[in-house]
């Protein structure tokens, strides 16, 4: 059962407003999308609050900046974003930014970046390795690594090389970060809890350099956030364990990190990206795969019309459900990341457990 304790509540309970910058004088930080904003908010708890660019059901693909967003970016000490494959409107804006810096998360080597998959039907062997390394096993060694999180910010670079190698080892064949990026890479990095922890560490380090007076607060908040993500991860793994082998189809290929981390069994996606409509051949292939592989569910997304998903599932055994990779209906804040991840787990579990 996924516990209801929220990351934000825990962080706010454990963080203090320390001497140093007052709230009004805290670093001005902009985060591009809600899950990244939530993680940054956790690190900044009690010190300041980041500005969120893309709100509600708006898609990060081709987003049009509001005047208030442009002002926030231009005045920001730090802009935290995923990368041009997701927020394709941001590179041009950041090039003309008069001050401050930006953190492109996909370029941070402490994060694992997976190669972009081809659309359509995915071969069953693409995920065979998951059964050999069940999610429970991934957590067998948590205790031996816990001390790294507890001391991650005693030195702002402590997590650097040694955390990077830990994460790469967990992702085996995806260890060559630069090679993956050279060919694009899947931008939905926040859906891997290990990447979420790495984002927290990177943001805490950057904020500590910008604002040394509050470095202790950022370090303490980061430690609390990472502990919360670990509990969240364990809860979700328990929730998804009974449906790990059940197959399903997604609207667009946004869930690779979540699927790989929890050892799930996807059949394929209707489209590589939400802005691309699939052809009739893709729909036929997926319909055949749904029947052949006994897919239980076809998932749409709240930001896009579900007609294609309904058409695909019609006449098959598959039920329909909704997955939201960015939390379109969630309120921004420290708790949003946990709510987003729990919502994905609940939607998958509820649909895949139906017969």
Quick check: do 7-107+140-238 and 242-352 share a fold? yes
Region 7-107+140-238: CATH code: 3.40.50.1980
pTM (2 d.p.): 0.80
Specify the pLDDT at position 226.
98
Give the tokens for residue 30.
Answer: 């902009």
Q: How far apart are CA 227 and CA 225, in angstroms?
A: 5
**pLDDT profile of the chain (355 residues), mean per 10:** 48 43 77 98 98 86 85 96 93 89 95 86 58 42 42 40 40 52 82 98 98 98 98 98 96 94 94 69 88 93 80 89 94 98 98 87
Specify the pLDDT at position 279.
75
Specify the pLDDT at position 45.
98
Q: How far apart are CA 48 and CA 243, in angstroms?
A: 40
Q: How far apart are CA 157 and CA 256, in angstroms?
A: 29
Is the domain spanning 242-352 CATH 3.40.50.1980? The answer is yes
Give the tokens for residue 247.
Answer: 């197959």
Domain boundaries, given as residue ranges, for the chain: 7-107+140-238, 242-352
Calculated CA dihedral for residues 5, 11, 15, 21, nearest 10 degrees: -150
Specify the pLDDT at position 306.
76
Q: Are 159 and 201 in contact (CB under 8 A)?
A: yes
Q: Are 333 and 41 in contact (CB under 8 A)?
A: yes
Specify the pLDDT at position 73.
96
Specify the pLDDT at position 12.
45
Q: How far apart are CA 29 and CA 55, in angstroms?
A: 16
Q: How far apart are CA 209 and CA 214, in angstroms?
A: 10
For the chain, the 3-state helix, strand and coil shares in percent, each to the nearest 5, are 50, 10, 40
Specify the pLDDT at position 172.
42
Specify the pLDDT at position 176.
62
């Amino acid at each position: 059962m996924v516990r209801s304790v929220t990351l934000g509540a825990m962080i706010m309970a454990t963080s203090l407003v320390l001497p140093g910058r007052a709230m009004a004088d805290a670093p001005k930080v902009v985060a591009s999308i809600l899950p990244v904003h939530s993680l940054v908010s956790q690190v900044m708890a009690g010190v300041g609050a980041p500005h969120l660019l893309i709100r509600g059901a708006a898609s990060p693909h081709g987003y049009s900046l509001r005047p208030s967003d442009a002002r926030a970016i231009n005045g920001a000490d730090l802009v935290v974003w995923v990368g041009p494959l997701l927020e394709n409107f941001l590179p041009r804006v950041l090039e003309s930014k008069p001050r401050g810096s930006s953190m492109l998360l996909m370029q941070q080597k402490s994060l694992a970046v997976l190669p972009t998959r081809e659309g359509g039907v995915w071969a069953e062997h693409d995920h065979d390795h998951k059964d050999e390394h069940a999610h429970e096993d991934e957590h067998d060694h948590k205790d031996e690594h816990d001390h790294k999180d507890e001391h991650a910010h005693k030195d702002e670079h402590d997590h650097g090389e040694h955390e990077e190698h830990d994460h790469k080892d967990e992702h085996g064949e995806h260890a060559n970060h630069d090679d993956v990026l050279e060919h694009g890479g899947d931008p939905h990095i926040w859906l891997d809890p290990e990447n979420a922890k790495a984002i927290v560490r990177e943001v805490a380090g950057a904020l500590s350099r910008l604002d040394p007076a509050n470095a202790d607060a950022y370090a303490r908040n980061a430690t609390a956030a990472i502990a919360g993500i670990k509990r969240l991860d364990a809860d979700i793994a328990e929730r998804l364990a009974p449906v790990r082998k059940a197959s399903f189809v997604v609207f667009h290929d946004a869930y690779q990190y979540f699927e790989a981390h929890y050892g799930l069994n996807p059949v394929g996606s209707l489209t590589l990206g939400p802005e691309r409509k699939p052809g009739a051949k893709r729909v036929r292939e997926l319909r055949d795969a749904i029947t052949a592989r006994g897919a239980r569910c076809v998932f749409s997304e709240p930001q896009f019309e579900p007609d294609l998903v309904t058409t695909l599932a019609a006449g098959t055994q598959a039920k329909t459900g909704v997955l939201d990779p960015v939390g379109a209906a969630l309120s921004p804040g420290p708790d949003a990341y946990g709510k987003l991840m729990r919502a994905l787990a609940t939607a998958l579990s509820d649909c895949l457990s139906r017969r």
